Amino acid sequence: MNPLVAPESSAHALGRTALSVNLNKVALLRNTRHLGIPSVTRAAEIVLEAGADGITVHPRPDERHIRAHDVHELAALLKRWPQVEYNIEGNPLHNLMDFIRAVRPHQATFVPDSEGQFTSDHGWNLPADADTLRPLIDECHALGMRVSLFMDPIPEQMAHVRAVGADRVELYTETYASAFGTPREQAVRDQFAATARAALAAGLGVNAGHDLNRDNLTAFVREVPGVAEVSIGHALIADALELGYSATIRAYLGCIHAAGATA
């Protein structure tokens, strides 16, 4: 994959938030038998044919879901989809950089997970982590890709994200998802909006992800300014078990459309 021709997705061109589908949980189900189904690459084909703007994977060191062969097979598949972005997430101090060097996705998302962590549950600590991250960000840039840092929604951290050389921040949205539907919902969403404004002011692009779903997505995209991309996996794949991949993608794109243009 040649990231030097990384697409500005149709979503960017249309002024709406891009939907990147995280396929971790398809691989998780696949790995419970030695039958190769459900297929990760088939899931990618169907969600892309339904209009998804990107594919995200998080190949954890223990290969509990996405395995090394998935990363490479998806890279080969996406050569047929030049307008689709490939986003690979992981800890660059563990196994992520091997995939980055081999596959050269459009975006690398650095996530500070430990090797056996149950799921992603916190962002980087800046500026403390800056010296460790800076050469890895520089290497990703030299390989021609964008770098996004997975961060908690703290406005004061955004200047540090830019200072270390990252292009985007991925706002860790679990606190928003947990507050949704409670009296704290608006205050928490306001915190994300303030963080996004600080990120944009620092010259960063804004991504978001973790526990987003059909219920909480529209209000987030409507009220948090400039969200370029949401990466969604767990809830979306759960919905697809009920609705099918294609109807699910149309539903999530409908949630984004209902939020209005981001431009």
Ligand X SMILES: CC(=O)[C@@H](O)[C@H](O)COP(=O)(O)O
| Interaction site with ligand X (CB under 6 A) | 22, 24, 58, 60, 89, 111, 119-120, 150, 209-210, 231, 233
Distance CA 111, CA 90 (A): 5
For residue 177, give the amino acid letter. A
Q: Residues touching ligand LD2JLWAY: how many (CB under 6 A)?
A: 13
Choose the stretch contacting ligand LD2JLWAY; rule: CB under 6 A; options: 2-10, 91-99, 123-131, 233-241: 233-241
Rounded to the nearest 5 percent, the helix, strand and coil shares of the chain are: 45, 15, 40
Is 146 one of the binding residues for ligand LD2JLWAY (CB under 6 A)? no
Query: Which position has the token pair 């061109």?
Result: 13
Distance CA 159, CA 177 (A): 25
Q: Is 60 annotated as a binding residue?
A: yes
Is 22 one of the binding residues for ligand LD2JLWAY (CB under 6 A)? yes
Q: How far is the CB of 152 from ligand X (least distance, A)?
A: 12
Query: Which position has the token pair 């594919």?
Result: 55
Distance CA 26, CA 57 (A): 10
Q: Is 22 annotated as a binding residue?
A: yes
What's the gap between Cα 154 and its chain centre? Answer: 18
Distance CA 95, CA 88 (A): 11
Is 166 one of the binding residues for ligand LD2JLWAY (CB under 6 A)? no
Q: Which of 85, 89, 170, 229 is catalytic?
A: 89
Query: Which position has the token pair 């303030």?
Result: 194
- Phi and psi at residue 242, to the nearest 5°: -95, -45
210 is annotated as an active-site residue: yes
Nearer to ligand X, 22 or 195 (CB): 22
What DSSP element (H or E) covers 232?
strand 227-232
User: Helix, strand or coil for residue 96?
Assistant: helix
Is 94 one of the binding residues for ligand LD2JLWAY (CB under 6 A)? no
Q: Is 233 annotated as a binding residue?
A: yes
89 is annotated as an active-site residue: yes
Residue among 56, 148, 191, 216 that touches ligand LD2JLWAY (CB under 6 A): 56
Write out the binding residues for 3-amino-2-oxopropyl phosphate.
22, 33, 211, 233-234
- What does the binding site for ligand LD2JLWAY look like in residue numbers (CB under 6 A)? 22, 56, 89, 170, 209-212, 231-235
**Could you give the residue numbers annotated as active site?**
58, 89, 210
